[in-house]
Structures are given as C-alpha cells and as structure tokens.
C-alpha cells in the first residue's frame, strides 16, 4: 500500500447543514427562558408588549428555527441532486417534500411555510412598526395602534398577514415584534416538527431531531417531547384551545403524509386531547386523567 493511500484510510465526506443544530443545541434553552417569562404573565393578555425577556428569547428562537428549515432544504437538495432556488426556500421545500403531486396539500403547506418565513423576515430584517399607545392614570392601556412603516413588507407579507390583528392568517403568529411571545415560538416549532415528519428520500420516516435536553423535570428526546413538556404547563387556557384547534386542522389536512412521533399526533386514546405521551414512561392525559401506568419491578 502506498503511503498516500494509507493516510486516507479514514477519509469521510461530511455535509455542513449547521443551522439544524440551532434547533437541537440553542432553541431549547431560549424556549426555557421564554417560558419562564411567559409563565409570569396574567391572562388574558391585553398589553402592547410582552416582557423584554420573553420577546427577545422567543424571536431569537423563531429566527434560528426558521433558518434551520433553510438548512434542511439545502440538505434535501443535495441528496436529490437538485440545485437550490436561491430566493424561494418555501417553494423548494414544498417541491422537494411533496413532489408537486398533491395540489391541495401543496397549497396548504406552502401557506404554512410562507407564514413562518414572513415572521422570520420581520425579525431578521427588523421591520419597523410605530406603536401608538396611551394609558389612563392607573396604567390601564386605553389606546393601542401599530403601524408598519413605509418601505417594510411586500406582496407576500400582505397576503399572509391580517392587517387588523397584525397576525398571520392561518397560524395566528404575531408580526408586531414586541408581542412575539412564547406562544409564537411554540407554534413555529409545532409546524417545524410536522415538516420534519414528512417522509423523504433521506429517511423514510422523516428527519428526527434528536433533541436531548434536560428540562427541570426530566430528559426529553425529540421536538415532540419538548413541545409536550411545555404544552401540559401552559398557563393560558385560551392558547391551549387554540393549539388543539390548530393541531386538529393540521391533522385533518396532512396526517396521511406524516410519520414518526409528532406533537400534533400525541393525543389521548380516550378523549383525543393533546399532550398524552410526555416521555417513554409518562403517559397521562391532563384533560380526562386517563393514564397508562408502568409496573416497577
Ligand atoms: Zn384524555
């Protein structure tokens, strides 16, 4: 054997989809910080902003998570030997994952992705709003208006954002940055969880994100478990209802195409409420109390 060949015996080819690691390494920490701040709020919330800690951690988490989707697109393109379309990650992802043969599904999926990427744009390009706020002498808010300044937003923004509520039409994500909260981060991750659950040629069961993260109570092993950990503690009952409704709709639209352990499919076998399996040894419903117990030897 020649010396040069011997030196190459451990040669490897390694891809660098680095942003996927953001969801694994950094986003769970941001989520924990955002949840701490969120948990201190009083609901229903009627203010023009959440706390600085909540919106900074939530927006950073959203930004890194959506960037990770671009990383995922690049990985899929490489494996399918397709060039990336530099300016349209959403269309690329729909084409790569759905192969254009499901027109209804394609449209719905594109909408969801557009909402995520619009929120990313608002954060990354720092869309500026002018807030007009007034309080009475007891510091109760008496007026609130948010105006997106001229020059920000585009055709796609106008299509997916409800002008009046300043939220996206399907997912209800806030676009006024000071209102971007734990709830918005939660919804973004819920959608990313299901996007990664679409089978593709790299892995027949989608791409599992092996998030190994120690919460205050136990270790979680994937995105679905991380979402469930927070879901069962959510202090805002209206948001829980919202998440159940959203998950029901997504399950109805997309379930035939999804696989793996996904948050939207993590439902109680008795009453169908979300958040049943918290991890491999805790299976318990917060709505009806049904649980599966394990015998301890
Ligand atoms: Zn139940």
Q: What is the pTM of this model?
A: 0.93
Q: Enumerate residues with CB within 5 Å of ligand 1 (an ion).
A: 268, 270-271, 273, 285, 287-288, 290
CB 90, CB 73: distance < 8 Å: no
The average pLDDT across 235-246 equals 95
Q: Give which of 251, 235, 190 is closest to 23, Cα–Cα.
A: 190
Query: What gap in Å lies between CA 150 and CA 258, rounded to an integer?
Result: 40
Q: How confident is the model at residue 1 (pLDDT cuts 50, 70, 90)?
A: very low
Q: Using CA atoms of 184, 255, 261, 17 in order, give the dihedral in degrees to the nearest 10.
A: -60
The DSSP 8-state label assigned to residue 205 in this structure reads T
Residues in the chain: 297
Q: Per mean pLDDT, which range of 86-90, 144-148, 169-173, 217-221 is the poorest?
A: 86-90
CA of 59 to the centre of ligand 1 (A): 32
Say how many C-beta atoms besides its own lie within 10 A of residue 171's C-beta.
20
Helix (H) or strand (E) holding 256: none
Query: What gap in Å lies between CA 47 and CA 69, rounded to an integer?
Result: 31
Question: Which among 10-19, 20-29, 96-105 has the top mean pLDDT?
Answer: 20-29
Tell me the three state secondary structure of residue 219. Answer: strand
CA of 281 to the centre of ligand 1 (A): 17
CA of 241 to the centre of ligand 1 (A): 14
Q: Per mean pLDDT, which range of 106-115, 118-127, 228-237 is the poorest?
A: 106-115
Query: What gap in Å lies between CA 94 and CA 77, rounded to an integer?
Result: 12
Give me the pLDDT at residue 108, please: 86
């Amino acid at each position: 054997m020649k010396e040069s060949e011997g030196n190459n015996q451990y040669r490897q080819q390694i891809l660098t989809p680095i942003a996927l690691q953001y969801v694994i390494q950094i986003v769970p920490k941001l989520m924990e910080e955002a949840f701490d701040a969120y948990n201190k709020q009083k609901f229903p919330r009627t203010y023009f902003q959440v706390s600085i800690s909540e919106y900074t951690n939530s927006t950073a988490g959203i930004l890194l998570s959506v960037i990770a989707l671009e990383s995922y697109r690049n990985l899929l393109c490489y494996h399918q030997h397709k060039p990336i379309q530099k300016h349209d990650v959403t269309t690329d992802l729909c084409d790569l994952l759905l192969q254009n043969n499901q027109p209804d599904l394609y449209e719905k999926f594109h909408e969801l992705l557009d909402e995520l990427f619009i929120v990313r744009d608002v954060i990354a390009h720092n869309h500026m709003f002018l807030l007009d706020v007034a309080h009475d002498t007891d510091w109760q808010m008496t007026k609130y208006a948010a105006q997106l300044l001229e020059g920000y937003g585009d055709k796609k923004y106008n299509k997916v954002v409800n002008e009046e509520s300043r939220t996206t039409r399907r997912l209800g994500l806030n676009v006024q940055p000071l209102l971007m909260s734990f709830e918005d981060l939660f919804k973004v991750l819920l959608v990313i969880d299901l996007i990664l659950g679409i089978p593709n040629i790299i892995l027949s069961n989608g791409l599992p994100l092996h998030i190994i993260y120690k919460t205050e109570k136990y270790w979680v092993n994937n995105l679905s478990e991380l979402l469930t950990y927070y879901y069962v503690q959510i202090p805002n009952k209206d948001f829980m209802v919202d998440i159940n409704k959203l998950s029901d709709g997504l399950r109805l639209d997309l379930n035939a195409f999804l696989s793996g352990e996904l948050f939207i499919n993590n439902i109680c076998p008795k009453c169908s409420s979300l958040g049943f399996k918290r991890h491999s040894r805790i299976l318990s419903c917060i709505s009806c109390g049904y649980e599966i117990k394990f015998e301890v030897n």
